[in-house]
Amino acid sequence: MTEPNEPDLYPSRIEDRPRILERRDPVVHTRWSAAAPLSQEQTEAYERDGFLVLRDVFDQAEIEMLRRESARLRGDPAALLPESTITEPGSGAVRSVFKVHDQSPTFGRLAADARLAEVARFLLGDEVYLHQTRVNYKPGFRGKEFYWHSDFETWHVEDGMPRMRALSMSILLTENRSCNGPLMLIPGSHKRYLTCVGATPENHYKESLKKQDIGVPDEASLTELAAAGGIVAPTGPAGTVVLFDCNTMHGSNGNITPFARSNAFIVYNAVSNALGAPFGPKTPRPEVIATRESLAPIEPAPGGLVLEAA
């Protein structure tokens, strides 16, 4: 049985008014040295801004392999794990596929790739495991928005993640343009914790992954964060990686252009930061959304994805 988490250092969804609290955890958990997988400038930028863009991490052959695999997963939802496929409200089109590392050797290899996992281990200062993996699809003309949110607020309240010691990596599988709904981030927002209003219903994830209404930041607080840090929308060709802290406020617009946007997301959590009982609802989200059982540390895999898969 999952043990309760005490104390709650980041309370949310328990008061009738939102608050902006100070972060109580480091952003970078390892002192930089010449042996680090990031430069000192990159490390300082991540600590300051809460995100970092890495260009040309994966080559065209690797991206083509990932695209084919993402299309395969999306094309046969009935063959996937129960509850791993999230559809768009209204249209029924596939919005996200979760736990892709367990449903695809290709994405499993991607999650273990040293170009990603070594960076996660450095920034988090620990061995890491996969808290969550998914592919988000945003097709041309019909792709819906993902509203502003802090991942950590949800992972803390609904999954029982104790501390801010996790990060996401978004691997661009298609070109992310300024016009087709790229990820938007508020620089510096990771150092503030925005609480939300409204108790969390049981099994909230069944609705929130389609369209979130609970755990949504209020407009006045978002305005304050954006006034302080601005809003950026990193763009780039397929093969680019955008990594961001678990508490960085982010979202994305809908896509009404002809240009599809799809990204793979890998969430690394420190082994020392494993989930406890949720701080909100009594029932945690399922394993397919938030890992509780498979906590074995990742062994970073060197070499290219295509070579490994051959």
Mean pLDDT over the full length of the chain: 92
Structure-token pair, residue 6: 């005490």
Rounded Cα gap, residues 294 and 284, in angstroms: 15
Query: Residue 309 pLDDT more than 80?
Result: no
Number of residues in the chain = 310
The torsion region of residue 184 among left (phi > 0), alpha (psi -120 to 50) and beta comes to beta
Helix or strand or coil: residue 20? strand
Residue entry with tokens 């990771």? 190
* pLDDT tens-digit map of 241-295: 999 999 999 999 999 999 989 999 999 999 999 999 999 988 999 999 999 998 9
Statement: residue 310 has pLDDT above 50 = no
Q: Quick one: what percent of the chain has pLDDT higher than 90?
A: 79
CATH class for the domain made up of 21-309? mainly beta
Q: Where are the domains of the chain?
A: 21-309
CA angle 282–269–1, rounded 5-degree value = 35
pLDDT (tens digit per residue) in 154-194: 999 999 999 999 999 999 999 999 999 999 999 999 999 99
pLDDT in tens, 74-104: 988 888 988 899 887 767 778 899 999 999 9
DSSP 142-198: TBPPEEEE-HHHHIIIII---SS-EEEEEEESS-B-TTS--EEE-TTGGGEEE---S
- Tokens 């945003």 identify what position? 138
